Structure formats: C-alpha cells, structure tokens
C-alpha cells in the first residue's frame, strides 16, 4: 500500500511558499519529488533489495522528455546531470544513511518576496496513508528550515533521538516492503553555521531586479559520497533569464529548477 508524507513551508497567512514536497513509500522503494509538472520529471529514488537487485541504491533522475516539455512551457530547468546518477549518502550507523536535506531559506517568507515565493500547487488533503507537516513559524533572518531524510534497515533511525522526540520535530517513519525505514527530522538552522553548498547558493535580487523563486539541487560538500541537497530560495529573474538565453532557451518567469547545475 502506498503511503505519503508532505512537507510545506508557509507563513502567517498560511499560503505555501516554494514547492510542496512529497515522500512516497511504494513496494521496495521510497521516492522524493514535489507537486507540479514544472520540474522535468525530477526526483530522488531510494531503491531497496528486490528480486532483481541485492542491496540499496540512492539515485537522482531526470526524464528527458519531461524536461523538453517544461522548456516548451517556458519553465527554467537547467542541469548537467544527463539522465541522472547515483550517490552514497552519509553513513550514520551500521544500518542508517542520511540521504537528503530539504532546505527552505528565510527569503521565502520575507514580505518583499511574497509574490515570487507563493506556490502554484494546490495544498494536498491529508488523511489515511497521507501525513504531513506545515511550517508557518517565521524564520529568523538568514536562517533556514531543514528536513533531513534518513534511510535505515530493520528499524527507524532518528538522529538526535532524545531532542527530536522531546521537540516533536519528527515526521514518519515510513516503511517499505524491503524492510527499510525512512525518517524525516525538522531543524531550524542558521545558514552561516550550516551553509548550503556554494553551487546551490544563488544571490537574492538587487535593487531594481525581479524576484524569482528557485529550487537548486546537488550533492553536498563531499560530492557523490555525500547526501543530496535541495535548496528552495529566491534569486532574480534577470539572472535566470540570462542563463537560459546563454543556453539557447527562453524563460518566462514560471517556477524554476536547477538540479546539479555547475
């Protein structure tokens, strides 16, 4: 039976900012993607042992056909990753790996960027087999809301177990048919002390520039031996338009995604 967890950043007005993310447990696998068709079929898959494969694999994938369709609609989807690639994650224990970090930066909640930050996707309805977390508390300046995803064998693994249990900052766990578990843990972190990878940190708009929401994604500081980062933020439409034009494409200001852009 398929089970899902949704993760949403909002603000005092309860309107979602950035993308609405979804984790799905299905058969022997887990999947991480977001609502909407503007991302070019971009997702993270966590494959567990099955009849054809012994072991696990963490994999980022893009669907070339979906990318072309996103371009045709005027969306910004730029990457240098081919159809996708595998990565190792960060081993936390004998049976546990941190595979991904979702990050929403405080710029998404700033009033000056509200119009650009608002999500175009509908807020999903929760119910049986559909859990979720909405974070509407205002973030401190230059801080971020992070969701760390950990995959383990045999039983759920919670980093900072006592603190996260006390603070009720846990989502899940989800299990799959391969005996694997996925946990999601919520953190508020100062970006100066816990910086995003440099390639995923785009500048905010300067005076006179047009704000534009952007999802940047790529491996951590240790490359493919690390976890994968997904950073939701605000940059300028002018920067993205210049990048698209330099690659022979147009950009009309729709939702933007830059997975593994170098």
pLDDT band at 81 (very low <50, low <70, confident <90, very high): low
Predicted local confidence at residue 257, as pLDDT = 63
List the Cα angle 252/234/214 in 5-degree steps: 55
Cα of 143 vs its chain's centroid, Å: 17
Instruction: Please state the domain extents for the chain.
Output: 3-259
Q: What is the pLDDT of residues 114-137, one digit of tens each?
A: 999 999 888 888 888 888 999 999
Predicted local confidence at residue 261, as pLDDT = 42
Task: Give the separation between CA 218 and CA 100, rounded to whole angstroms.
Answer: 10
pTM: 0.89
Describe the strand order of the beta sheet including 84-87 as a list of residue ranges: 84-87, 57-61, 43-47, 29-34, 17-26, 3-9, 130-135
Is pLDDT above 60 for 255? no
- Token pair, residue 229, equals 């980062």
Q: What is the pLDDT of residues 83-100, one digit of tens each?
A: 677 889 999 999 999 999
pLDDT band at 80 (very low <50, low <70, confident <90, very high): low
């Amino acid at each position: 039976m398929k089970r899902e967890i949704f993760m949403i950043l909002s603000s005092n007005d309860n309107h979602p900012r950035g993308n609405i993310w979804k984790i799905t447990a299905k058969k022997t696998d887990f999947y991480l993607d977001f609502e909407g068709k503007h991302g070019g079929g971009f997702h993270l898959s966590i494959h567990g042992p099955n009849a054809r494969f012994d072991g696990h694999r963490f994999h980022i994938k893009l669907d070339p056909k979906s990318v072309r369709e996103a371009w045709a609609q005027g969306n910004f989807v730029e990457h240098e990753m081919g159809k996708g690639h595998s990565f190792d994650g960060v081993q936390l224990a004998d049976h546990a790996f941190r595979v991904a970090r979702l990050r929403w930066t405080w710029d998404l909640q700033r009033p000056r960027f509200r119009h650009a930050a608002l999500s175009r996707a509908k807020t999903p309805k929760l119910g049986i087999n559909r859990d979720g977390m909405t974070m509407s508390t205002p973030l401190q300046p230059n801080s971020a809301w992070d969701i760390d995803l950990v995959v383990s064998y045999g039983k759920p693994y919670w980093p900072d177990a006592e603190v996260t249990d006390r603070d009720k900052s846990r989502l899940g766990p989800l299990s799959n048919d391969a005996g694997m578990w996925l946990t999601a843990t919520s953190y508020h972190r100062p970006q100066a002390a816990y910086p995003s990878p440099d390639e995923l940190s785009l500048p905010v708009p300067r005076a006179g520039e047009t704000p534009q929401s952007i999802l940047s994604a790529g491996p951590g500081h240790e490359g493919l031996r690390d976890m994968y980062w997904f950073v939701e933020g605000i940059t300028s439409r002018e920067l993205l338009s210049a990048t698209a034009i330099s690659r022979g494409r147009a950009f009309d200001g729709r939702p933007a995604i830059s997975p593994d852009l170098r």
